[in-house]
Structure 1
Amino acid sequence: MNILVYAGDGTSRASVIHTVNSLRSLAGQYYDVMKIDAQGLLSEPWEESTSLLVIPGGRDLPYTRDLRGLANDRIRKYIQLGGRFFGICAGGYYGSDRIVFESGSALMEVRGSRELKLFPGECRGAVYPGFVYDSERGARAVGIELNEKALGQEQLGFRQTKVYFNGGGYFVDAEKYEGTQVLAWYMNEFGQIDSQRLTGNSKLKAAMVSCQIGQGLAILTGVHPEYDAAHMDPNNPDYGPEPNVVTKLTERENERRLFLRSVLCKMGINVASVPTLLHSLPAHPSVTGNSSVSESTMSNGFQELPRITPLYLASLHPYNIKKLTATLMGLANGQGIIKGSNDTFQLVPSPLHPIPDQQIDGFEKRTIYDDKGEDDADLLNAVCKSLVLCPDGPPPLTATPEFNIGQYFEALRSARGPNLEYTFGGSLLYGQVVTSTQTMLDKNFDISQQLPSGLVCNATIQVSGRGRGRNSWISPPGCLQFSMTLRYPIASSAFSNVPSVVFIQYLVALAVVESVCSMPGYEDIPLRLKWPNDIYAEAPLTHPSQANAQAQYGASRGKMIKIGGVLVNSNFGGSEFLLVIGCGVNATNPNPTTSINHLIRNHNQVHGTNLAPLSQETLLANILVKFEQFYEQFLYGTSMPPTPTEASNPQWQQQRQGQIGFKSFEEMYYRRWLHSDVAVTLSTLNPPRQVRIKGVTLDYGLLKTVALDDQGREIPGLEYRLQPDGNSFDMLKGLISQKL
């Protein structure tokens, strides 16, 4: 399940960073914390996999402009059906029925109604004077009094604390609205409940409220419980003389974390235990002697942006590494540097040679407020990455402690068996921490076009992982993630009967499932396929994020959990496509959803078996060999690659014509997929129409559907075919919608 943080136009960069990192600190072991923009909220099927949507601080007016209409309708419906919403500062204003901001100010006054109307009254601010856009001049460490009973945290240990404030509002007459609870009130500088500057009947200023919306819950706040003083600049003059804002917040950091934890618990979000949380408290810069702290090193309880580590290039056969070395040296300048379209690589002759530092000068010295407009992904792409050649076999395990390359090659040999002609995965480029395996191969076409078909790049952690659409993430440990180059032929006079390349994504996803389920004893591990390229698990519900999904969407549907997916990018070159196939699957990590090994353990418990868990090395080898078997059958009609003479022989091609393509995989594919005879709604029609899924076409891999009448009967001859990349298919809601 995901926690989505809105990062569209108008959001404060600092607020987004603090929000993302605080949520990763508290809940990152259970959820993927990801950013999303307005287009994503409008067009992507995000609701089903989202446990919490957060609108952080910034400017309310751009939110109003970009999310009006359909996006707001989807957000409110998501909450009504059991979703959770957290609106912080500008997000709190935005979630209210009405907003009044800086009344009487010629430059900053904003007032009007808002569409979400989660809080049924007015949010009025700023509570304290001095606010200036894009500045810390109005920042304060404000006191708040907590409603421990409403938070469900009577044993919190404190009733008052201080948190960051900069321009937030209060929720007028909050106590009078049904379904609304006040979670915290503002206090004045004397430590008293602040009742100044009030109008209406209320005597207290509500700093944070919770609002019951249908089956869901929205929490709106005028203060910033997500701000961690350890990642603020204590030398900023806007914070005032000592004891300044940062000092005051630092003194209450323990309480801030516990308070934010209680807010997330109120929303049913699974969070770190209190001992774990308190043990991970960071040291403040004033203690360590550092005057500023980089967002790239937010450790001590935050999921930091890890340092990029060296890449190691090794091959199963020595002659392959020699050929690769010659190819790469031909691309490098005199200093051994290869400049690609997106990345720069420094060749290192062997693991025994010194490896240069891979951090950009000054990157670690930036604070959140040193924003020059660069995105972290852009900065990391600019890092010159060390590419270590391994001519004498795999590097020592001390160089790659999270992935044993030698063990992987042994597993590859074992999985191939007598198929000595197989090549996929025979050359491996591994990095413990990389930007994105997909980006490095796909966005450096000038380099990747020189690489052999079947070269695999894998990593333990990706800090800019790529998925379909706008999806990007920091991948959790235990997720097997890899990308592979594949040269796919284009139909020609010499090779005329080439199946559609669109099926490659289907075959890779099928290979992931079959690499496990075809093993003796593992046949009943509940892995399934979701069209067009996702891998799902029919898994037991083991923690609240999954239980929420079960309650929201029904018991049987709540058990279907996404654990992997496939992404295929293509470039055209001469007589072939250069494909970069990306795949990620939860292999050993039980969170944030579940994993293959978790399914195996559960199978052992239920059935009394003793199936061994799969290492990432073994799983990767099995997937690649299974995919190569499928690929050869799909392209040539045989599980063994043809000789060059056979491949160019028209008579040989004619003999294989009935055996190539996707037809030979239909039975296996449909046995694993989730959609046979499922009724869904085709919402691109006006009015929307109910259709039943019948399969995929054998020519271009389109989804075949037949229309249903009002009684749910099929209408002969009225069929619709849908492209896999032109539609968002939300299987769990029974909805197919055209992407914008």
Structure 2
Amino acid sequence: MNVLVYDGPGTTPGSVKHAVESLRDFLEPYYAVSTVTVKVLQTEPWMSKTSAVVFPGGADLPYVQACQPIIPRLKEFVSKQGGVFIGFCAGGYFGTSRVEFAQGNPAMEVSGSRDLRFFPGIGRGPAYDGFQYNSEAGARAVGLTLPDGSHFSTYFNGGSVFVDADKFENVEILATYTNHPDVPSSDSGKGQSENPAAVVLCNVGRGKVLLTGPHPEFNVRFMKKSTDRHFLETVVEELKAQEINRLKFMRTILTKTGLNCNNDFNYVRAPNLTPLFIASVPGKEKYLQEMEDNLVHYGAHASDVGYYSELNAGSDTFQLYKGYGASYNAASESLLHKEPDEVPKALIFPNENEETPPSQYTPNFDMSEYFRHLDAQNTIGSLLLYGEVVTSTSTILNNNKAILDSIPENTLLHVGAIQVSGRGRGGNTWINPKGVCASTAVVTIPLKSPVTNRSISVVFVQYLSMLAYCKAILSYAPGFSDIPVRIKWPNDLYALSPSYYKRKNLKLVNTGFEHRKLPLSDVEPAYLKISGLLVNTHFINNKYCLLVGCGINLTSDGPTTSLQTWINILNEERQQLNLDLLPEIKAEKLQALYMNNLEVLLKEFINYGAAEILPSYYDLWLHSNQIVTLPDHGNTQAMITGITEDYGLLIAKEVKKGSITQFTGNVYSLQPDGNTFDIFKSLIAKKVQT
């Protein structure tokens, strides 16, 4: 399931970063934590796949203005679907029934009702004087008192007190301000409540709402980057001593909402990046030399320290080392305790007598094993760029033109065991933990086919790439064809839900998975996403250069399921039938088989067009004869019958009302609505034939 952090008008970059990183620390791998925009929340069918929506710190009024269209969906998500809404500081104001901010100060005053009304009363603030927008001037370490009488301090900058929170039956106070706020915390008596609420939990219909005035999600590691010396010496120093208590409190309040937190959580900084190793399949070392020469052409030059070359490649600086054994220690030390998105990246080329790095440098991926399974005739994947911990296999190539331009055509596969800045459609970001194999293949295709001289549509690369991955899984070893994986158009890979499989008492061993036997109406509850694919397109030397990025759940079940889980399920059945057990799946072999299939499919597509690959794609996708509703055409129902060979759109024939076998003669071309598309929910349709 997803935890979605709003990142749009009103947020501040720092608040988003703190919220995302803190939630990932506590919630992954049980949930996928990512950022979303208003457009996503307004148009995508996110509710059925989401456990919590989070509004971080910033400014409440822009939230009100930008998010007005999604208020009904947020209320439905919580009250009817049992979802969780979390509001930190500005998000806390946003979740109340009324906001009273800086009353009497014409430069900052914001007063008015709020439509979410999750908290029945008023969010009044700033709870303590001194707040200034875009400044730490009014920031402080604020004392909180917990229901058990214990105390700790956390970051505060302009947040509210929840007025008279102890008078509402559906509200539980999780923390009060230790010192009375500078604004009235009660609208009765002396104006101050005995329990000035700083953090509240509201029961709203079937769901729960967590609202905070302070920032318990803020961690010291990011705050230490401030250039405000007074802030560092006072606030940050005090908060450092409170970090363990803050973490305990965060776990407590998240658990109170019903979210599943890591029980063994032990606060650590984001993992250090590790050096990138590049190697070639034996016999094709010329590609390594070509890439080194190209990097020099793009400006790689000896550094001041002398033992590595330096290159400003675009968004990143690279330190280029020579020799795995000779350079590993220095390259690793250069990355220690540095922010992954800011530190220069270390890239190590081999010496002449080295083929692959020593295994102790790459404990999660055996590069030699990968090359052993790669077809000797392959060009694609014959250069392997690997890192144990990387930012993003796609981003590091996509954002650094000098690196991308230096790669010999159709050679490189970049693999990372752990991604700390993964990217998806719509700009979503996440951490790929160990067990989720991330890779990006760099492929080049001409503008026209050398055989047919027809123009080539790059949209099909996403189709054939996911087809290559699916084929790699099903052909991994004898018996793997029983694994229930299929392609969701255009480029996601889904696996049958283990719980659905057991609930329906299905059996797969020796039968082969035939997804058409499942009711098409069950497609969404029956399947879970285990892989997604993102293609970034560049135009280099009058050719398309495509970065085909893919992450797949090999052994990590959070938040859906994994290939290894299905191997285990099938092995239980095989054991009962006295059949040989399926082997454990290995990233090295799977990536090599993926490259082998991709090489063949790309050649067929370039030479002969989409017609060559579509039959195989149809065999492994979920959508043959699926009935879809077209909301832009009066909720017309149509049956999916294929994909157009020019632009890769879905072909759907309108069915007569009340029938799924008789057609009206109307044919539609269907396409996704940008990043807001879900094949199970909605489509944009253009009538092409009557």
> When the two structures are superposed, what TM-score results if normalisation uses the length of structure 1?
0.78
Distance 1:384 1:144 in 2: 41
- Where does residue 594 of structure 2 map in the other structure? 623
- Where does residue 25 of structure 1 map in the other structure? 25
- Where does residue 582 of structure 2 map in the other structure? 611
**Aligned-partner SS, 1:474:** strand
Distance 2:202 2:657 in 1: 38
Spell out the pairing of 1:379-390 with structure 2 (5 A cutoff).
379-380=342-343, 383-390=344-351
- Where does residue 648 of structure 2 map in the other structure? 701
Distance 2:613 2:337 in 1: 51
**TM-fit CA distance, 1:710:** 5.3
Q: Of the candidates 262, 270, 293, which is equivalent to residue 260 of structure 2?
A: 270
**TM-fit CA distance, 1:511:** 1.6
Q: Sequence identity, in percent?
A: 36
Spell out the pairing of 1:587-666 with structure 2 (5 A cutoff).
587-608=554-575, 610-636=581-607, 660-666=608-614
**Aligned-partner SS, 2:568:** helix
**TM-fit CA distance, 1:698:** 2.9
The change in CA–CA distance for 1:143 and 1:402 in structure 2 (over 3 A counts) is: same
Provide, for residues 285-306 of structure 1, a one-character-per-residue CA deviation record: whole Å limited to 9, x for no partner: xxxxxxxxxxxxxxxx145152
Provide, for residues 625-666 of structure 1, a one-character-per-residue CA deviation record: whole Å limited to 9, x for no partner: 122232333334xxxxxxxxxxxxxxxxxxxxxxx4344544
2:473 aligned with 1:516, yes or no? yes
The change in CA–CA distance for 1:727 and 1:102 in structure 2 (over 3 A counts) is: closer
1:421 partner amino acid: Q
Spell out the pairing of 1:163-562 with structure 2 (5 A cutoff).
163-174=154-165, 177=168, 180-189=170-179, 197-200=185-188, 204-229=195-220, 232-233=223-224, 249=239, 252-273=242-263, 276-277=264-265, 280=266, 301-302=267-268, 304=270, 306-320=272-286, 321-335=288-302, 336-354=309-327, 377=341, 379-380=342-343, 383-391=344-352, 392-412=354-374, 416=375, 420-450=376-406, 451-491=408-448, 495-497=452-454, 500-518=457-475, 519-541=477-499, 557-562=524-529
2:249 partner amino acid: F
Q: Is the 8 A contact 2:528 2:561 kept in 1?
A: yes
2:544 aligned with 1:577, yes or no? yes
Distance 1:99 1:525 in 2: 54
Q: Is the 8 A contact 2:145 2:178 kept in 1?
A: no
2:81 aligned with 1:76, yes or no? no
Q: Is the 8 A contact 1:195 1:205 kept in 2?
A: no
Distance 1:406 1:678 in 2: 44
Q: Is the 8 A contact 1:480 1:620 kept in 2?
A: no
2:386 partner amino acid: Y
Provide, for residues 528-547 of structure 1, a one-character-per-residue CA deviation record: whole Å limited to 9, x for no partner: 211111111213259xxxxx
- Where does residue 116 of structure 2 map in the other structure? 116
Distance 2:159 2:118 in 1: 17
The change in CA–CA distance for 1:727 and 1:681 in structure 2 (over 3 A counts) is: farther
The change in CA–CA distance for 1:213 and 1:225 in structure 2 (over 3 A counts) is: same
Q: Is the 8 A contact 2:553 2:561 kept in 1?
A: yes
Provide, for residues 92-148 of structure 1, a one-character-per-residue CA deviation record: whole Å limited to 9, x for no partner: 10112211112112222111122323223322222333333334444444444545x
Spell out the pairing of 1:714-729 with structure 2 (5 A cutoff).
715-723=663-671, 726=674, 728-729=676-677
Equivalent residues, number = 645
- Where does residue 55 of structure 2 map in the other structure? 55
Q: Is the 8 A contact 2:628 2:637 kept in 1?
A: yes
- Where does residue 504 of structure 2 map in the other structure? none
**TM-fit CA distance, 1:620:** 0.5
The change in CA–CA distance for 1:361 and 1:134 in structure 2 (over 3 A counts) is: farther
Which 10-residue stretch deviates more, 425-434 or 252-261? Answer: 252-261
Distance 2:496 2:600 in 1: 26
Q: Is the 8 A contact 2:198 2:214 kept in 1?
A: yes
**TM-fit CA distance, 1:521:** 0.7
Q: Is the 8 A contact 1:29 1:591 kept in 2?
A: yes
Which 10-residue stretch deviates more, 521-530 or 132-141? Answer: 132-141
2:409 partner amino acid: P
**TM-fit CA distance, 1:492:** 6.2
**Aligned-partner SS, 1:465:** strand
**TM-fit CA distance, 1:494:** 6.1
Q: Is the 8 A contact 1:356 1:386 kept in 2?
A: no
**TM-fit CA distance, 1:497:** 4.2
The change in CA–CA distance for 1:737 and 1:27 in structure 2 (over 3 A counts) is: farther
The change in CA–CA distance for 1:622 and 1:76 in structure 2 (over 3 A counts) is: same
**Aligned-partner SS, 1:398:** helix
- Where does residue 639 of structure 2 map in the other structure? 692
2:281 partner amino acid: S
Distance 1:15 1:493 in 2: 52
Superposition RMSD on alpha carbons, in Å?
Answer: 3.6
**Aligned-partner SS, 2:570:** helix
Distance 1:571 1:239 in 2: 44
**TM-fit CA distance, 1:251:** 5.4
**Aligned-partner SS, 2:99:** strand
Distance 1:360 1:405 in 2: 22
**TM-fit CA distance, 1:346:** 3.8
Give ranges in structure 1 of 5+ residues lacking alignment: 148-156, 281-300, 367-375, 543-553, 637-659
- Where does residue 567 of structure 1 map in the other structure? 534
**TM-fit CA distance, 1:616:** 0.9
The change in CA–CA distance for 1:144 and 1:435 in structure 2 (over 3 A counts) is: closer
Provide, for residues 483-533 of structure 1, a one-character-per-residue CA deviation record: whole Å limited to 9, x for no partner: 122221222686414653322211111121221213311111121211111
Distance 2:198 2:644 in 1: 57
**Aligned-partner SS, 1:562:** strand
The change in CA–CA distance for 1:103 and 1:422 in structure 2 (over 3 A counts) is: same
The change in CA–CA distance for 1:561 and 1:105 in structure 2 (over 3 A counts) is: same
Q: Is the 8 A contact 1:436 1:466 kept in 2?
A: yes
**TM-fit CA distance, 1:340:** 3.1
**Aligned-partner SS, 2:559:** coil
Distance 1:143 1:111 in 2: 26
**Aligned-partner SS, 1:220:** strand
Q: Is the 8 A contact 2:273 2:391 kept in 1?
A: no
- Where does residue 295 of structure 1 map in the other structure? none
**TM-fit CA distance, 1:268:** 2.2
**Aligned-partner SS, 1:354:** helix
Which 10-residue stretch deviates more, 511-520 or 252-261? Answer: 252-261
